Chains A and B, each alone.
Chain A
């Protein structure tokens, strides 16, 4: 039970952070909505970098990814390294533009941005609904993953893990808002880094050094040390990940919304530097551990178990507890971001826009807190017995969001002619064609479906925009006179 000690301390720290920042949003000089949903645009470079990383790195990078690397070898680590430049890509392309524009329009969500750019109710409602569906799918999948991990590490029943876990996350997100989410993300990012470092060096030592480990693998599985894993990872497939976890990340609302929340240019510059190194190191180390596991404990059949089993078998219980904090942190930091975004979507984008345009401050406060709590409870009950549909939605969540939002966000910011007709048609076309291709397993010469979907939705967006009217001067002024 020593293993539980670090986990408990860690969960208490999360709650403590929320408690501390809780005060801020009730101060008189603070705009509640800007504070609760975007932390009053106050993030410094370190917190910005860590929150982008932590939101983006979920259970898959800590448990699933290394599990596949265990099965396929260095080729899968090569694939994971594609994610190294995503932090500087996102910030470099979107950062300052989004920061300036969102301040101009007083926006705190990606939907605010879409509304200001396209001035069209269908874009807003369609966008909000697509986000909510995918967000909730992602939250449930991560909840389930977290509770299962907790179950396998501690031996306590699934339901206990789920209750503790969801209680902590829902509480700190609901009372603390975006600021608590960003701060806990920063702590969680550090925990992930420390955790993976500890495990890496322990395994390195257990295996008698890197060369020794690699030679052992070479003797039994030489194909594990080649870029295509002896043909298991085809080139078109791995190259299409440059789209899926690379360029198209620019269309993920949870990541891009962070570009609205930083304090000044300097924090963005620092975040580009910190973010690139931390993501790179985390991806490299965690996936490499998966491969090294082949030499340390061969013969594990379920890939997902390799990381927890390496941790439990090779680390002192207290250190193992700290380590398990890594994937738990990855999961929690993903869940909290999606939770606060879902509540922002409901309160800000739907309720205030369409139901009650001028609520008083107290009402907004109450509704925001209750919405966060309410969504938290819904996902808790869904996670008790996850319906098949949700598992399916989670599989689609990453690429689905990209196919919906890549064009409206990027082309909206960089192309003056972009308009609502283009946005609506590309959103509908993107999601529909992505679902169609995936369900019927339509494959384009071995590439992931996201590649053709993004290219086609760009074409649809351009055609649609030329069919519709030019955007008015005011919109052009807001978005391009910066």
Chain B
């Protein structure tokens, strides 16, 4: 029973991360407006933020979440 609580907590954190990535992706694709000369590393800024920076940030967040919230449990 002790495991179930931890597993549910991990599932909720996973959902939150997933939702965060969605919100980030959505904001820079559809709400943020970049000018036609707005380039970062050669890419239009909306694309850079949404797809490139989004990828980097979600990776850092997954790493931190796993490190701090996911517990080693016995699977057997």
Contact = CB atoms under 8 A, between A and B. Distances in A.
Interface in B7-35: 7, 10-11, 13-15, 17-18, 21-22, 25, 29-30
Instruction: State which size class the interface on A falls in.
Output: 35 or more
Interface residues of B, number: 40
A93 B13 CA distance: 9
B56 to A, nearest CB: 9
B41 A210 contact: yes
A281 B58 CA distance: 12
Contacts of A209: 42
B30 A227 contact: yes
A443 B73 CA distance: 45
B59 A273 contact: yes
Given A92-B10, A227-B30, A227-B46, A265 B72 contact: yes
B42 to A, nearest CB: 3
A235 interface: yes
Nearest to A277: B59
B40 to A, nearest CB: 10
A97 B14 CA distance: 14
Contact of B62 (A88, A235, A480): A88
Contacts of B73: 96, 265
A213 B39 CA distance: 12
A96 B70 CA distance: 11
Contacts of A276: 58-59, 62
A264 interface: yes
Nearest to B26: A239
Interface of B: 1, 3-4, 7, 10-11, 13-15, 17-18, 21-22, 25, 29-30, 36, 39, 41-44, 46-47, 50-52, 54-55, 58-59, 62-63, 66, 70-73, 75-76
Interface of A: 74, 77-78, 81-82, 84-85, 88-89, 92-93, 96-97, 99-100, 103, 209-214, 218, 222, 225, 227, 235, 242, 246, 264-266, 269, 272-273, 276-277, 280-281, 284, 480-482
